[in-house]
Amino acid sequence: MECQECQKRPATVHFSQVVNGEKSEVHLCEYCAQEKGYMDQYNQNFSFQDLLSGLFNFDSGTSFKESQSSSYQRQNALQCDKCGMTYEEFKSLGKFGCEHCYETFDQHLNPIFRRVHSGNTTHNGKIPKRVGGNLHLKRNLQQYRLELQKLVEKEQFEEAAKMRDQIRELEKQLSEDKGGDA
């Protein structure tokens, strides 16, 4: 796509604006965007760290006024024993000072992880289909065992029996796969 202004260079800056339900789009090269003043609106030195610290700035359910700390809260701020980093510093920097910060700020991290990872607080990774045949079965087996435990705790024994049977089936598949590999 060419720049709508000069028709010489490729358009690398794309702006969309919706006013009263009417959408208008502008596609400009970097030079024309600077000339027209579009680039002045945005910080050129925006980094990945800035993006992360923007996600960390507010805990879920906290308004801007509530997030502004009083002097009393600053004195009692959560601080890492090993590196001395405070939670406020972590939020503004977007990275930890040391590996112990994970433990120190643990209670405040789950809302951040949920926001960043679309509601998830654990990272399971991705297993390639051609390589991870047994890994998929093992992961399913682990999930089924957790589900079985929850069902027993809730005293839902019929569903627990079905889950037990699925677990036995997966264990059988795993033992057959190991027997065939040997």
pLDDT, residue 49, reads: 61
pLDDT, residue 68, reads: 45
- Tell me the C-alpha distance between 172 and 110, whole Å: 36
Low-confidence ranges of the chain (pLDDT < 70): 39-76, 123-124, 127, 129-133, 178-182
Question: Per the domain annotation, does 126 fall within a domain?
Answer: no
Phi and psi at residue 28, to the nearest 5°: -130, 160
Question: Per the domain annotation, does 125 fall within a domain?
Answer: no
How many structural domains are present in the chain? 3
Could you tell me the residue range of the domain that residue 5 belongs to? 1-42
pLDDT, residue 151, reads: 93
Contacting residues for 46 by C-beta, under 8 A, at least 6 apart: none
One domain, residues 37 and 55 = no
- Determine contact, residues 121/113, Cβ cutoff 8 Å: yes
- Tell me the C-alpha distance between 133 and 177, whole Å: 9
Question: Per the domain annotation, does 110 fall within a domain?
Answer: yes
The residues that bridge with 13 in the sheet, in sequence order, are 28
One domain, residues 71 and 108 = yes
Q: Looking at 116, 144, 160, which one is the last position of a domain?
A: 116
One domain, residues 38 and 52 = no
pLDDT, residue 145, reads: 94
Tokens of 7: 């028709």
